[in-house]
Every structure is written in structure tokens, then in C-alpha cells.
Chains A and B, each alone.
Chain A
């Protein structure tokens, strides 16, 4: 590898003749870490319209290039970091990044999103996505500065957590803040923890399905990208700015999103508690004696010194950096926890001291594992120790619900695979199966090997069904947003399995469309029609609601076909015993999802047009989606 490799086009004749649609850089950056080769690959306007970007593009590349024998830790596995046509444009929150790969937890497809400035920087550098293959001989990092792309030695970054890595790279390149976007793995990724994540720009995490383990296996410590100097055109700039303004106005004023606009996801704690959906102490209860008035969004935010830390072009009052006020970690600067952090690093493990949760949450991001899976692992150990299923001798420390410092020690053991941490590093499903006995019955996971986000889904069936049937290592269609737009009911009985399944199946595709655009699922919590309008203005296509949903469903079908090829089928679409148990108390205690599970699956399969027995999307479904080639692949005798 030349130390100053420049990304050259693969061949001069493959340039598409059609003009480039607005919003696109027009090239994919290809990196082979085994050989050190770096090249660019143009993609055609037709492909752009078919696959958009983000997960749409990533799913296609994954399906085409990762065969069933290429497991997550195989060098030929692809790590795709893709953005979409709206990234780098003035629509709010469009610095987005989708990570697509074959993941370590389910062994199937992964699509997980993060934000910050990475997607915008990628576009201004002239690329729509980075496709990484191979395995570096030693720990390396990828440096991108417009046309200069280098695989560099990362020996000096070994063992550093994600924030330290970003700081070190900022110092090395003399650039700070948003001038240099860095996405990296922490010690957990280096040590191939199965739920390791990829974190970037101080607080944004692509966290699901062990994408950090894939990056660690490739010995790629970080991708750092200078903001980029290239121009990005929109087809109809005025139309685009108008659409961006309309989306912003909608987010600010619509009753379903104005809270999100003001507080991000902070309101989740109190709201979900009222529904019995806040997970408390590993699903052992749904009630608390803690005064929930102290957990209102304003208390969570103003309880700390805080400052806005927004993503590219974003006007939401969502992401913040805060300072720990008191206690052993006073003065430490942390990322204000998302709802998922308050839950995974907090309520789920019985920690209800705000300062402790806030501190632990950022420590999880820095060691770099998925905060949800960490919560399920840690909460499971806590419950098992409480009940005597696991002993202090086995675990190596005495861990009780509510012990944030103990949880931090466990985090370190997991991310360095020390002692019992080595077993826990395999994720809650594998750890529970290994330990077995009564302990195994307490673990929360899906049979596929993934786990829910920071919810008690026993009170939110749509997400449990979605998490279990999804093909991307996390939920892929819940929770329904503006579903009346596509003719679905605005409200349903959340404990009527049939209605739940119809809604969850009916909305399938929306999130795949969003995740193909290069933005954020919170700033995109507007009508699909508005997003399609922004996309049309950016690209010059006439993209409508139906096109958007069709694109999303097509991506969902490709991901499912990929999983089926990997041997992941409908037999694994069940929650673990605890995950699907009846709540012992709280608002959802009279409802047991498993009573209706089979019926829910039936209705879901019928709604999405997949075959219930084999799990395959039906032939006519695939033809209606414009995927005849996939129908041929899947239904070949």
C-alpha cells in the first residue's frame, strides 16, 4: 500500500453517461484492508433511484457480495458505511450514517443508524458510501481527506476508548469539532465483544448486532474523515429549502413531535412508565417507589449543566452534552443520555441516581457496546446474583441492582473479556445458554440472538413482534409514525394481537425508506409524503409516497432473503421465555403476549405478503415490488 494512496476510479469507461441526480456524490469508496487497495466505483442514476442510499444501497451490496459461508468474522464480510441523498443538505439532522454488515449477534443482516456529521462529511468528500472488505494485518484506521484516502497504522490508538480515539485523531490532524468526523470502536470492538458498537462525533452510536465486532475483526480502529471541500448540488434548491422548512415546522408544531423537538427522547422515561413499558430490573417489576416527577424531561435536562450538540443542519433540541454535577465523577463531560441510556444504563439495572446513569451511559459508549444489550446482560447478572443463580465466585464481583460502579466494573470485564466477562461478551442469549438452569430463564433476548431496545415490550407488542420478525438485528418497522397517511388506523387496541400485527406489518418499509436517505429517525418523524417531497426536490425525480413505501419494502425483502440464505428463518421468530412472559405487576399485568403470538405471526405474514412456512417473501409480493431477480433466487427449485 502506498502511504499516500489516492482513490482512483476503477476504470474510466464505467462512468455513467446519464447526468448525476442532485443530492449524490456519485461514487462509492471501496477499501480492501487485506491488500491496502483503495478505489472508487461509480454507480448509475438508475441504481440510485432503485436503492437510494443508506440501508437500501447497503442491503443490495450485502446480498450481492456476502455469501452464506461468509460469516460475520470472515474477512470477506462487508462493512458498509452508507449515507443517502439528503445528507449534507439543509434538511434537519442529515449527517446520517447507516452501517450495514453481517452482524455478530444474529449472524444475519444488520442495519443500524447513527448521526453527527459523518454522512455530510462523506458527501462533501465526494462519496455516497464506504464499502470495506478484507482484514488489515495490524490495527489500522482509515483517513479520508477528499481524494486522499489512506489506510494508516493505528498502533497508537490501541486500547483507547472511542472519545479518546477521536481526541487523539483530532490532535494528530490539527482539526477539531465537526471539521473531522470520527467513527471508531472502543476496547470492546477490539476484543470482538459480540455486541460491540461503533461510536462517533461524541455520542452517536451505530450500536446494533455487533457491528463494532465486525470492525474489530477487520482490525479497523476508526474511520476519520475531514469535512470535505466538494460541492453538492440539489436539483431544485428552492423546493428543497421549502420542504426542509415545512418538515421543521411540522416537527415544531405537530402535537406528536413537538415534545421531541423540545426534549429529544427524554420524555420517554415518564411516558413509558405510565404504560408499563419502562423496563425495571430486568422485567422483574413494572412499578417503582421512586418519585417519577423527578424524571420529567425538564428535570433530566436542567438537572445538569448542558449545551446543545446538534447534528448536521439540525434544529431539534435533542442531542446535548452535559456535565456531571456531583458525586464521584463530578465535572466529567458526558453525552446527555437518550431515553435508551436512561433505560439501559439506568432503570433496567435498577440505577435511579441520575448522575450515575448519565455517567455510566457515556462510559458504555466509550468502551463501546450497545447500551441496550449491556442493560440486558448486566440486569440479567444482577437478577441471577440476587436469586442465587449466579455466585460472587462465578462472576468475580458482587453485583446488585442499582450498583452503577459495579456495572462499570462489569463493563470493563466485558470489553476486555476478563474472567466471567468473557462469557458475557457473547451477548445475553449465548451467555444465558452457557450458564443454563434457572439463570437462563431470566434472560431477555430474541431467539435470533438480538435483543429489544430499552423497553419492556410486554406492554408494547408491536415492537416485540417487530423485533422478533425483523431481519436487521433490531426493530425495523415499529413504532408506527403517521400511519394514517398510508391508510392504517391512528389508534388500535395495543393488546389485540391481530390489530397489532396488521399495523406492524402494514407500516413495514417506512423505516427502511427513512434509513436510505441519510438522516435521522427523529427529524424524519414527519409524513413520508414530506420526505418524498424533499427527496424529489433534491434529486429531480418525482418520488411519491407509494414509491417510498415500495422502496422500503423492497429493502426489507432483500434483508430477509439475505437472512434466509444464512439459515435464519421463521423458526427463530420468538421471544425468550422472560422477554415473552406475563408482567407480574404494573399497567400491562393482565396481558400475556404469548397467548396471541402464533395468531400475530399469521396476521403479520399475511399483511407483509411473506410465506408463513418458509418465511420467504411470496413470488407475487416480490414481483409487485419490482424484484423479479430476487423471486428467481428465492423460489428456485
Chain B
């Protein structure tokens, strides 16, 4: 399946992804409502785009009491607006802070991979956001596996 790979090394902090994302999310340009956000480390001239990694085990989905979060055709966890009651449990459950509550619509919202054609990828002028094939949707899982192996090795030693 295809996932969003975020490559902070390439990011120059122009925030064009936030504009594109907010357009898809809300119909207008409003970076405050973008679900991809660039964390600035201005002191190092370093910028890191960040959004939902589509965890294999979707905590937002598990927490939702009304079953409003489903997996869409692109493999993304997606909020069904007509089911969401705006209880915000998902925003508490998410360990990464990548599902949000919209005070205007009273619904939760998150990255749904734009149903398979992510606008942020198209908008990024430096290819810091790439939509590519991966074994699982959960590319942070690779990091987790690597870290577990490293810590276990330390324990053994």
C-alpha cells in the first residue's frame, strides 16, 4: 500500500502543504485547519512536516464510541462526518496529536490521504512529502521495530 513519507531533510518550511491541505479539508485556504503541520525549529533553520501516520492499530478508531472512524479505500483512517458526534475522545486517544476537533463543524477531522491523491504531496515544491509504497501503512512501525531491537541488544549486552 502507499503511505505518506515525510522527509524533514528536504523541507524548507514554506508551508505550502498546509495551504493545500486546508483547501481540501475546508474548501478555502486556512492553515489553522490543515491536518499536516510543519513543526518549525527556527533556531536550526529546520522544519519537519508532520501528519497522521495511519497507525496499523488506529487508537482513534478504537476509542470512537460511535464507530465514526473507518478505513477508506486508500487505507487511511477517515472520519465519517454523519456519524461523528464531536465527543473528542479520538483526539485524546491519539498518541501523536494528529486528529483534530473543528469548533465550527463540531466534528473530528484528520488526514484521510485525500482518498489516494494527497494534496500536500502535489503542493510540496521540494519533495519533502512523498506518497510511496510501503509494507504497512504504519511506517513509524519501522522506527519502533528498529528501536526495540536496539534496546533489546543493549539489555543483552
Report chain B residues within 8 Å CB of A74: none
Q: Is the C-beta of A193 less than 8 angstroms from some C-beta in chain B? A: no
Other A-B pairs beyond A232-B30, A307-B46, 12, CB < 8 Å: A89-B19, A92-B125, A124-B30, A124-B32, A178-B13, A178-B15, A228-B32, A237-B28, A307-B12, A310-B14, A315-B16, A333-B45
- Please state if B13 and A177 are interface contacts (CB–CB under 8 Å): yes
Report chain B residues within 8 Å CB of A307: 12, 45-46
- Please state if B13 and A232 are interface contacts (CB–CB under 8 Å): no
- Kindly provide the distance from the CB of A108 to the nearest chain B CB, expressed in whole angstroms: 35
- Kindly provide the distance from the CB of B123 to the nearest chain A CB, expressed in whole angstroms: 6
Q: Which residues of A contact B (CB under 8 A)?
A: 88-90, 92, 117, 124, 170, 176-179, 202, 227-234, 237, 248, 307-315, 321, 333
Report chain A residues within 8 Å CB of B32: 124, 227-230
Closest 3 A/B residue pairs (Cβ): A177-B40, A315-B125, A308-B12
Q: Is the C-beta of B59 less than 8 angstroms from some C-beta in chain A? A: no
Q: Is the C-beta of B57 less than 8 angstroms from some C-beta in chain A? A: no
- Kindly provide the distance from the CB of B109 to the nearest chain A CB, expressed in whole angstroms: 14
- Encode B29-64 as 1/0 by CB contact (under 8 A) with A: 111110000101111011100000000000000000
Q: List 10 A-B contacts (CB under 8 A).
A: A90-B29, A92-B125, A179-B40, A229-B30, A231-B33, A233-B27, A237-B23, A307-B46, A315-B126, A333-B45
- Please state if A88 and B29 are interface contacts (CB–CB under 8 Å): yes
Q: Which of B15, B30, B40, B46 has the most CB of A within 10 A?
A: B15
Residue of B nearest to A90 (CB): B19
- Please state if A90 and B16 are interface contacts (CB–CB under 8 Å): yes
Report chain B residues within 8 Å CB of A202: 42
Q: Is the C-beta of B148 less than 8 angstroms from some C-beta in chain A? A: no
- Complex alpha-carbon distance, A228 and B15, angstroms: 14
- Kindly provide the distance from the CB of A266 to the nearest chain B CB, expressed in whole angstroms: 16
Residue of B nearest to A117 (CB): B15
Residue of B nearest to A123 (CB): B29
- Kindly provide the distance from the CB of A526 to the nearest chain B CB, expressed in whole angstroms: 15
- Please state if A309 and B15 are interface contacts (CB–CB under 8 Å): no
Q: Is the C-beta of B113 less than 8 angstroms from some C-beta in chain A? A: no
- Please state if A313 and B19 are interface contacts (CB–CB under 8 Å): yes
- Please state if B14 and A227 are interface contacts (CB–CB under 8 Å): no
Q: With A90-B123, A124-B32 as known contacts, state yes or no: A311 contacts B42, CB within 8 Å.
A: no
Report chain B residues within 8 Å CB of A313: 14-16, 19
Q: With A89-B19, A248-B125, A315-B14 as known contacts, state yes or no: A230 contacts B45, CB within 8 Å.
A: no
Report chain B residues within 8 Å CB of A308: 12-13, 126
Q: Is the C-beta of B111 less than 8 angstroms from some C-beta in chain A? A: no
Report chain B residues within 8 Å CB of A228: 32
- Complex alpha-carbon distance, A232 and B32, angstroms: 11
Q: Is the C-beta of B3 less than 8 angstroms from some C-beta in chain A? A: no
Residue of B nearest to A252 (CB): B125
- Kindly provide the distance from the CB of B148 to the nearest chain A CB, expressed in whole angstroms: 32
Q: Which of A90, A312, A314 has the most CB of B within 10 A?
A: A90
Among B16, B28, B47, which residue has its beta carbon within 8 angstroms of that of A232? B28
- Complex alpha-carbon distance, A321 and B13, angstroms: 12
- Complex alpha-carbon distance, A227 and B41, angstroms: 16
Q: Is the C-beta of B4 less than 8 angstroms from some C-beta in chain A? A: no
Residue of B nearest to A227 (CB): B31
- Please state if B46 and A176 are interface contacts (CB–CB under 8 Å): no
- Please state if B41 and A231 are interface contacts (CB–CB under 8 Å): no
- Complex alpha-carbon distance, A309 and B45, angstroms: 7
Q: With A231-B26, A237-B23 as known contacts, state yes or no: A311 contacts B14, CB within 8 Å.
A: yes
Report chain B residues within 8 Å CB of A89: 19, 29
- Complex alpha-carbon distance, A312 and B15, angstroms: 6
- Kindly provide the distance from the CB of B64 to the nearest chain A CB, expressed in whole angstroms: 26
Report chain B residues within 8 Å CB of A178: 13, 15, 38, 40, 42
Among A124, A177, A312, A315, which residue has its beta carbon within 8 angstroms of that of B41? A177
Report chain A residues within 8 Å CB of B126: 308, 315
- Kindly provide the distance from the CB of A285 to the nearest chain B CB, expressed in whole angstroms: 37
Q: Is the C-beta of B108 less than 8 angstroms from some C-beta in chain A? A: no
- Please state if B14 and A314 are interface contacts (CB–CB under 8 Å): yes
Report chain A residues within 8 Å CB of B43: 176
- Complex alpha-carbon distance, A307 and B41, angstroms: 12
Q: Is the C-beta of B129 less than 8 angstroms from some C-beta in chain A? A: no
Residue of A nearest to B11 (CB): A308
